[in-house]
Chain A
Amino acid sequence: MLDASTHAFDRLPNAVGVGYKPQHFRDILADPAPVEWLEIHAENYMGDGGRPLAQLRHLSERFAISVHGVGLSIGGEGPLDTEHLARLKHLVGWLNPASFSEHLAWSTHDSGFLNDLLPLPYTEATLARVAAHIDQVQDTVGRRMLLENPSTYLAFDESEMSEIEFLDDITRRTGCGLLLDVNNVFVSATNQNTDPVSYIEAFPIQKVGEIHLGGHDEDEDETGAPLLIDSHGREVVDPVWTLYAHTIARGGPRPTLIEWDNDVPDWQALAAEARRAADTLAPALV
């Protein structure tokens, strides 16, 4: 069953995509199956020219492209970096991607850019700030964005509401859609000792315009409790595939991305992961 509201948020096909890595350029053009769309990290395509932009231009003639930002620091205490916003506007302007998404996280403070997706407490104050930042992004870029649920390793004592309440309120205040990272749900739920299935059940699924799947690493904290780390460096684990199947069964098919950013495998291994997602998606598309 196609959910019409999905397409109000973006124009990605209801099919499987992968995070684009330049080493796969030739393989993707030769035989992309089952991959039908590609996601890029916005910041890697903010140079003035050269091979990265030439490859992206070429790929965009054949594939729908999702622009995924990792540097806007939407959850930051300070104002958004307007220079960076202008770069984003320029990229989205010439590329006209099928979707634009960013994270519920912060990465920049006075001292600089920290190159990680850092967590924030869920309070009325952070809610107002994040909503204002998303308004500013959407006004500047000129389109609605998707906001991704984070993977978290710890809790803020000052939080006043659940992550889902926070995300749902953001969408109502700003009109943005959501990017549901099912691996992040599993990682956060394990780390926060909550139930990932209940999280999926409670998630405002009709606002989800894209799903992410990726691999994580396993560790434990000093008390022996499991500590999962969102590393994007290996295959998606079985419990996350199960959670994904449950998500699709509940909300219908969604554009689904395989993320593999570290220790990037050859194209065949990545395509095999994409195939597994496509097989889960297929019955829901009938």
Chain B
Amino acid sequence: MSGHPVSQGAFTAALLSPDLPVPEGLSNPDGGPATKRFDVYRNNVIVSLTDALKTGFPVTLKLLGETFFTAMAGVYVRQHPPQSPLMMFYGAEMPGFLEGFEPVGKLGYLPDIARLELALREAYHAADAAPLDPAALQALDPEQLVASRPRLAPAVRVLRSRWPIHALWRFNMAEGAPKPQMASEDVLISRAEFDPEITRLAPGAAAFFESLAQDASLGDAVDAATAEATDFDLTTTLGIALSSGALTELRAP
């Protein structure tokens, strides 16, 4: 029987803490220290997880810059290593992390931008659903329409922000987009085919979609919307919902 055993707990701790020594029991081919060799694993872990965050948060990356984001990711990765091997969903704790990360404290909109980017990724990978045929709604008489319960597509997400998140997102991702003006913005994220789209919502519309997400009837959803905004416009909101693929079928009343 031979050398000092290395537990995976000790291996992991040393991977994530560059200040810790390389665990005893790991060697180079001559039996000497494996310092730089162990650093290959350290580097692989931090770089690959940092790259996953850069891919997942392109606008946050652009707002913070490559150097700052990379340094911040080093902190995030050690505090919040992935809890599943699905890298496409890595970073779910980023908004909360940003809220508590003192160096970005002045960028109040940043956590909501991260929320928006998470929602876009979730929408991209959400289950497919056939969009609701507008004729199905047109076929209903007013009473049936109010009682109908349109189901939201699995890709639909609604975000409310006190910041202009849609304008900020567009300014950083779309060429020639106008400079953001300070405003609260509610947005709908939906996926007509494969690419999620962000639509800015008028007052009341976020409450409308949130109600539908809770299985409300169309009438109850309108009530919830009107309670927030007396000028809530159902026709415009339904138009957005139908053209963006946000509605998928009518449930039995």
Contacts and interface: CB of A to CB of B under 8 A. Distances in A.
B184 interface: no
Q: Which of A43, A51, A53, A153 has the most CB atoms of chain B within a 10 A radius of its CB?
A: A153
Contacts of B40: 153, 227, 229
Given A109-B11, A114-B45, 14 more contacts: A54-B128, A81-B85, A111-B12, A112-B81, A113-B84, A115-B45, A115-B48, A115-B49, A115-B85, A115-B87, A116-B44, A116-B48, A121-B6, A160-B2
Contacts of A250: none
A155 B85 contact: no
25 contacts: A43-B88, A44-B87, A47-B88, A48-B126, A50-B155, A54-B194, A76-B8, A106-B8, A109-B9, A111-B12, A111-B16, A113-B85, A115-B82, A118-B11, A153-B34, A153-B41, A154-B26, A154-B27, A155-B27, A155-B28, A156-B26, A157-B26, A191-B29, A223-B30, A227-B37
B26 A155 contact: yes
Contacts of B18: none
Interface of B: 1-9, 11-12, 15-16, 25-38, 40-41, 44-45, 48-49, 52, 80-88, 124-128, 154-155, 191, 194-195
Contacts of B32: 223
B52 A114 contact: no
A50 B194 contact: yes
B34 to A, nearest CB: 4
B85 A158 contact: no
Interface string A54-81: 1000000000000000111100111001
A229 B38 CA distance: 12
The 4 A-B pairs of least Cβ separation, nearest first, read A157-B3, A71-B85, A47-B125, A112-B81
Nearest to A108: B85
B6 A156 contact: yes
A76 B28 CA distance: 22
A272 B38 CA distance: 34
